[in-house]
Structure 1
Amino acid sequence: MKAPFLAFITLFATLAGIPCALAQAPIPEPPTIGAKGFLLMDHNTGMVLAESNADERLEPASLTKIMTAYAVFREMAAGKLSADDEVLVSEKAWRTEGSRTFLDVGSRVSVDNLLMGMIVQSGNDASVALAEHIAGSEAAFAGLMNAHARRLGATNTHFVNATGLPAEDHYSTARDIASIASALIQEFPEQYKRYKVKEFVYNDIKQTNRNRLLFRDDTVDGMKTGYTAAAGYCLVASAKRGEMRLISVVMGTSGPEQRARDSLALLNYGFRFYESHRLYDGRVPVQRLRVWKGQQTEVPVGPQQDVYVTIPRGRYEELSAGLDAVPDREAPVAQGDRLGTIVVSLGDEEIRRVPAVALEEVPAGNLWRRLVDSIIQLFRS
């Protein structure tokens, strides 16, 4: 149905005093999820679409390895580690219990293979080998993980190891796990592609990715399963349909089938009743603002990053946005200086505010330019 026709029907019904279901269909309650805690989030906006006990501290099991991978990717991005580097497998890594890549003690394994073993096979031995190689010990690496968690705002998270094996004071929440997963996807899109690999062979042993949604829905391209007896069955899933990417986190379900079924139910709910739109491209001018006493008289202004909004499905025509600019800005203006705010509204409700910054610098003008502008400003006032 075309939006103008829908608007006409809505207006007619309003004037006539007739309730109109077409005007704005109500969004139902999220599906019932058999988990200790869960959360559904739009990756691009951070908007939470469904949650329950999302801030309860729970054992994350192998969901821990999302942060393990994030920390490794940060080291690689900083040039301190490469995919071809070889890592010596210690006896501690080799003896680590639980799921494994079946590394040989004393062998040298590439970072690339260790990452695949950790991500696809959930190998605890691969996780410990990476941690020891980067930080000298698994405990020291856990400190690095905690530093990243604090920087990302995951304030209800504390890691003791790189694997997620049960340990005192090792915990996280559905909300924090979603934030960490979103940061990994945002910062390392090329590395994230590892999470959709369905099987990996190492040491002549083929293991299949435990994320069953990779085999059921081709829009799902990640992310990580987890299980211990204390934590229950956990799953972080991410799917992209069109421009919209959703991340679901379920923690503490009763079985591998339930975590898959519940995760897919959450994802389908989000895609069915919400939509995501990119309103502005990052570092692309929204407007040019007057600058006084500068070498240039105008400066391009826009957001630093792409601006997305998440809204109930079918209400796109109600979106509006504008720039609330800082008046009478004088040079010098540095690139990145905040010069206003992009305000986004849905109908009469303000739903998002995004800083608008100078996309170029404007140095101070010469004496003549400053004098002329001072006179103009005097007469304007």
Structure 2
Amino acid sequence: MRTTVGIIGGGPAGLLLARLLHRAGIDCTVLESRDREYVERRQRAGILEQDTVDVLRACGAGERMDREGLVHDGIELRFDRRSHRIDFPSLTGGRRVMVYAQTEVVKDLIALHLSDGVPLLFGAAVRAVEGADTDRPVVRFEHQGREETLTCDWVVGCDGFHGVARSAVPERVRETYERAYPYSWLGVLADVPPSCDELVYAHSPRGFALHSMRSPEVSRLYLQVPNGTDPADWSDERVWDELAARFAVDADWELERGPITSKAVLPMRSFVTEPMRYGRVFLAGDAAHIVPPTGAKGLNLAAADVTVLARAFVHLEETGSAELLDAYSDTCLRRVWRAEHFSYFMTTTLHTDPGQSGFQTRLQLSQLDRIASSPHAAAELAENYTGLPFG
């Protein structure tokens, strides 16, 4: 097999990159290790930044998103039994976010690829990337019980933290930065209409809680729990009681309860590998960086990476210049580190560390009060949450 751009990973990063390249007339092939059903059911993020929404619309993948997605103009912070709303448009010059689950983005992109005939192989388990520093890198993979090779001009690793693409960057040139957090999230899906119009981020002496949604009929909620928590230890009643306690405010508000359809524990970590390019191999999305979900940045960082990369491939095609490809890693890492810092800020400001002192708690409350009382502090949060411009 032969292609111009070989894309490892059929998640949102790989699929979006393939869509952008296909629209620009650049040949590409996507290799995804899982089957289509698994990929389309994989539960992940649900908040799309303004630029992510704009890119999906521009590449023809926004029709169902605009019909079913929920436009949000702000978030609510709860702390010290009071609430404060952050209004995004007034603080950012009109920027907003969209609630539209990653699973739905993936379904939309897969449908477009299959309709357009873009090569997309499911069940293609990549074993190795060879020749990263040559002009013809090769991807070795197994598909339908056969060993196959894909010879490329360029390879893009969108295969996540546990994928093989990152290993194509030699350890001698690779620098890794990471932080593990001393708590996790217990995430639940519930068949009950959301109890709020916008996301609620709650700081509580009992720990962090987040109220989100997947649709007008389905709620997505999270509780801070100790690392190693078994979801089976949390009955539905215990989940709802704890959520109600952490969301409690001195106002007339009640948490609606309903059947919980799934529970899962999500570890919290920050991770960045540098550089995001070696030879003819590029890394994008979770293959290069991970953020704790508190800042809603994971999917959006992936979208930013592949948007920058697609522009660089188009520039090469149109001008013959590799200038933008050569700048890819530095361009993306500036945005990555800004998002890492924002996600770290949101996480450490809203969560209760197991060994946290009263002094540290008072600092958190002081910071939240600053955001609630200062338009400048609120604008900083709103600008980061709605997302910095791609590229």
Structure index of larger Rg: 1
TM-score (norm 2): 0.22
Structure in which a larger fraction of residues adopt helix: 2
Structure ranking higher on relative contact order (CA contacts 8 Å, 6+ apart):
2
Structure-1-length-normalised TM-score: 0.23
